[in-house]
Structures are given as structure tokens and as C-alpha cells.
Amino acid sequence: LLGICVGMQLLASRGDEGAAHAAGTPGLGLVPGRVQALPGLGCTGRVPHVGWNIVRAHRSAPLLAQLPADTDFYFVHGFAFVPDDPADLLASTDCGVPVAAAVQRGAVLGTQFHPEKSGRAGFQVLRNFLGLAPC
């Protein structure tokens, strides 16, 4: 499963977007964590964050294979996923503070960026994902 943008955010246990109470809005809980507003995380840039940002891998992962270090991807978001377990964080981007750009827990993956709008690097991410699927 690959969640893209809000699809990645839905993978979380809870989210603050549209939440009527402090506990937040329930998510799918496939990757434990919480989705929070960028300003609440200390982000200093314009919200929503729209545009190209460098993505820095935190560990080696098949989803990010064959990509040069510090590759730019296209983002459109006002919220960010904060995983409960740092091991679930594949990559981050800088919005004044580091925020999750990609997560993975087992066969569940997510990208905050839009691979389909990120040119060759985005197509490589999609090819990498398709290569993970069992035949």
C-alpha cells in the first residue's frame, strides 16, 4: 500500500485536521503516529507548503532506491505526519524544522510529496513501489 500526500496522512493513528476535540480524528492506524498542523510543529514557511523541497533519506529503503542524495520532490500540504516510532520514518524535508517526507511500516508506505508531479525522481519512486509488489 502506498499512500500519497493526504493518503500518507490517513495511515496515521490520529490527525488534527478537522478534529472537533483534542484527541483528534481517527486515522487508519497502519503506521502509528499523529498528523499535526505545520505551524504547530514549528514550521516557519508559508502554509500550505507548496513547491519543491529536498528530501533526505534517513535509511536505505527500496522505495527510494536509485535516487541521488538530496533529490527535490513536489509538495502541497499544511499538515505533517509525526510517526510514533522513529524507525518508521524513511525520509524528511525541511519546512523550517524537519518534517516527514516518507514513512514505512512493513508493506505500508507513504509519501507526503507527490511523486506523480515530481518528474523523473517521482517516476522512479513509483517504479520502485511497483517493483515491491508480489507477482
Instruction: Look at residue 45 in the predicted model and tell me its pLDDT.
Output: 86
Q: If you write DSSP's letter for every residue of 12-40 in order, what string do you get?
A: SSEE-TT-SSTT-EE---SS-EEEEETGG
Intervals of the chain under pLDDT 70: 19-22, 133-135
- In tens, the pLDDT along 50-63 reads 999 999 999 999 99
Instruction: Look at residue 24 in the predicted model and tell me its pLDDT.
Output: 80
Cross-sheet strand order for the sheet of 108-111: 2-4, 108-111, 98-105, 89-94, 49-57, 71-77
- In tens, the pLDDT along 77-93 reads 999 999 999 999 999 99
Q: Which residues are catalytic?
A: 5, 114, 116
Instruction: Look at residue 134 in the predicted model and tell me its pLDDT.
Output: 67
CA–CA distance, 61 with 74 (Å, rounded to integer):
20
Number of residues in the chain: 135
Instruction: Look at residue 114 in the predicted model and tell me its pLDDT.
Output: 98
Instruction: Look at residue 17 in the predicted model and tell me its pLDDT.
Output: 81
Instruction: Look at residue 133 in the predicted model and tell me its pLDDT.
Output: 67
